Chain A
Amino acid sequence: MTKIMVIPKNRKMIDNLISKSDAFLIGIENLSINLPTYYTIDEVEEIVKFLNNNKKKVFISLNMNIKNNNLELLEETMLKLNDMKIDGVLYYDMAVLNLWKKRQLKYDLVWSQEHFATNYDTCNYYNSLGVKYGLLSTEITLDEVKDIVKNTKMSLILPVFGYLPMFASFRHLVNNYLEYFNHEKNTNNYYMEKEGKKYPLIDDNNGTFVYSGNIINGLAETIELKESGLDYILLNSFLIDDQKFADIVEMFNSSDKENVDELDNKIFDMFDNVDKGFLYKETVYKVKKND
């Protein structure tokens, strides 16, 4: 049974979506990136208790690239999380995996090197090291996703709604630009635009982050994904209006074979920048050479 995992934008959204989502993915300050909100460890503890009480699954993201001077905070946080009842911790940096093994922590891990989870052999590699879950890349096709699900024992999560991460840097690329040209900085949130297409751009304490110009909508595909045995579909509220996001979660909840196409079209009507991402689009890597 494919479950719905949600990335909430704020605490209130967790309350509002509690009955509509099976699992929640939460960020922690200074250890997570690419999430709408980063909570303190105390706030995380409160959220975890709330979700435990409501019998919902909870996943915590520690998906930042970790510098040596951040290892202490990482280890401390991982140990604190071990005292909470959480279902999984997402990791990008292998420091998390190494510490998890070393400290024999009880929660499960989620391999979350977002653009690298593109084949089942590597899912199996991490699975053989004890990693239960994998967050799949969004740069692969629907057929590739199904093929991976079929060929690994790893439990898989696939983002099917929301803006997608495209770029992450330790550098403060917007701040640098604004300083260089003597502009004041009043916000962390920007857009960069090329040929009429706008890309969300964030420059915050952690660095610079860019997101897809379009919102991915994989609602119609969830029928096939459910049949394939995918464990979780992931819906991200980042930069989406709260009410619209609640409607979206409801649509993913109530979709079935009969109404899925209608609901899928409805999502296209709700936003003017929705697409199917790479679900039907293969990327190339060799440019045709001409003589």
Chain B
Amino acid sequence: MIKERKKPELLAPAGDMMRLKWALNYGADAVYIGGSMFGLRANATNFTIEEIKEATTYAHNLGKKVYVTVNIILHNQESAQLLSYLKDLEKANVDAIIVGDPTVIDVAIKNTNLEVHLSTQQSTLNREAVTFWKNQGITRIVMARETSREDLIDITNNVDIEIETFIHGAMCASMSGRCVLSNFLTARDANRGGCSQICRWEFDLKDENNNPIESEKDFTFCTKDLVMLKHIPEMMDIGIASFKIEGRMRSIYYIATVVSTYRKVIDEYWNNPENYQYNKEYEKILNNCANRESIDQFFDTTCNKEYQYYIGREEISNQDFLGVIKHYDLKTKMATVEQRNYFKIGDKVEIFGPSIDTITTVIEEIIDDYGESIDVVRHPLQIVKIKIDNQVFPDNLIRKKY
């Protein structure tokens, strides 16, 4: 198969309209968003049909695209609303839907003109599986995060279909779709958008005879993030159609930084491949806004110990971002907080914001929304109250203090 040299698309996440505009304005060719139904980020801010219309109009005016995730694994009762929802998406002029459950593929292809991309939830890794999905009407495959360079070369050489790969952001520790830790440990359905990220939790490790295996840090599945910056030219040569950035729930700062950096690399290599030189400065920029250390993951290796992340939250990074102050009661000195990252009793934190001097305190009391005292706050967007002696204000932020 002779490959036509085609400039790859840079595809960015957009958790809301503001992020969508920032992503497109900072250089993304397309964005993917969650609709109000059937998306795998159930707890993110998602787009209504009206907002999706606004999003596609905005993107199309710039000559760019909008994809909508319809990637949950359905339960019986959910398919009833599917057709009308897909019809609405078609009317909203979305450029494609990203799908995990074949029922959605079937309903979309039989009843709409929507283009259908296969979600990474199906963990597609090989040319036979890619061929299968192509025959089912899929026009683009979002490859499994475990796909290697050799896999990508083999697939792009053998099957004529658009291939999308992740280039940046967080990794699942498991194969996508094969992790239901969240279902079992927190009763939240990972394959319907409820993932509570158990792979970031710490566990005690024991051998088969129940003897503890103790180390200076507890056992965790937590892996480093993905960064493919240095492989972009090679991936362009392989013929990847779309480079995907992970993180619909990321900050505007993060999206703008990551999108603009990859934009530069793609353009520099595309415009002048013979004289292209890797720019270390770009790597530094990405590192500075990373949640945790980043590495190139399965593209080049089988992911050894260097690919794990055992140092917990000991870096100054976005992961230190624990919550947002929503309200402060002067009388009780209790602040209402919306959680952003796991925190617990005893954590040393800083509260900062435009109208206060940075406050350093230790979390001594946490009350949940049932008025009960709890030790840890582990759910994204969970609302709790914590005791802070000094006055704080709405939209002040809480971060981990070291």
The answer to the question of A98 belonging to the interface, with a C-beta cut-off of 8 Å to chain B, is yes
B194/A177 in contact, CB under 8 A:
no
Q: Does A283 contact B (CB under 8 A)?
A: yes
Instruction: For residue B120, give the distance in angstroms from its CB to the closest CB of chain A.
Output: 12
**Contact call B216/A95, Cβ cutoff below 8 A:** no
Complex alpha-carbon distance, A122 and B191, angstroms? 15
| B128 adjacent to A99 (CB under 8 Å) | yes
Contact A125–B103 (Cβ < 8 Å): yes
The number of inter-chain residue pairs (CB within 8 angstroms) is 232
Q: Do A93 and B303 form a contact, CB below 8 Å, given A183-B213, A281-B187, A286-B194?
A: no
Binary contact readout B79-120 vs A (1 if CB under 8 angstroms, 0 otherwise) = 100000000000000000000011100100000000000000
Query: Residue among A166, A183, A289 with the most chain B CB within 10 A?
Result: A166
B204 at the interface (CB under 8 A from A): yes
Contact mask B124-168 → A, CB, 8 Å, 1/0? 111111011101000000001010101100110000000000000
**Which A-chain residue is minimally distant from B219 (CB atoms)?**
A177
Which of A23-31, A140-148, A266-274 makes up part of the contact surface?
Answer: A140-148
Q: Enumerate chain B residues within 8 angstroms of A69, measured Cβ to Cβ.
A: 150
Cβ of B386 to closest chain A Cβ, rounded Å: 15
Is B62 interfacial (CB-CB < 8 Å)?
no
A interface, over-half SS: mixed
User: Contacts A68-B126, A139-B180, A192-B204 given: A283-B192 contact, CB under 8 Å?
Assistant: yes
User: B188 and A283: CB pair below 8 A?
Assistant: yes
Question: How many chain A residues touch the partner (CB < 8 A)?
Answer: 73
A152 to B151 Cα, complex, angstroms: 36
Contact (Cβ within 8 A) A66 B223: no
> What A residues does B249 contact at CB under 8 A?
none
Chain B residue contacts of A208, Cβ below 8 A: 221
- Complex contact A190–B205 (CB within 8 A): yes
- Give the residues in chain A near B189, CB-CB below 8 Å: 139, 283-285
**Which A residues have a C-beta under 8 Å from some C-beta of B?**
65-71, 93-95, 97-99, 113-116, 118-122, 125-126, 139-140, 144, 147-148, 151, 164-181, 183, 186-187, 189-194, 198-199, 201, 208, 210, 212-213, 278, 281, 283-287, 289-290
Q: A93-B123, A194-B204, A283-B188 are in contact. List 4 more A-B contacts (CB 8 A).
A: A170-B146, A171-B307, A285-B192, A287-B382
3 nearest A-B pairs in the assembled complex, by CB-CB distance: A285-B194, A95-B128, A181-B215
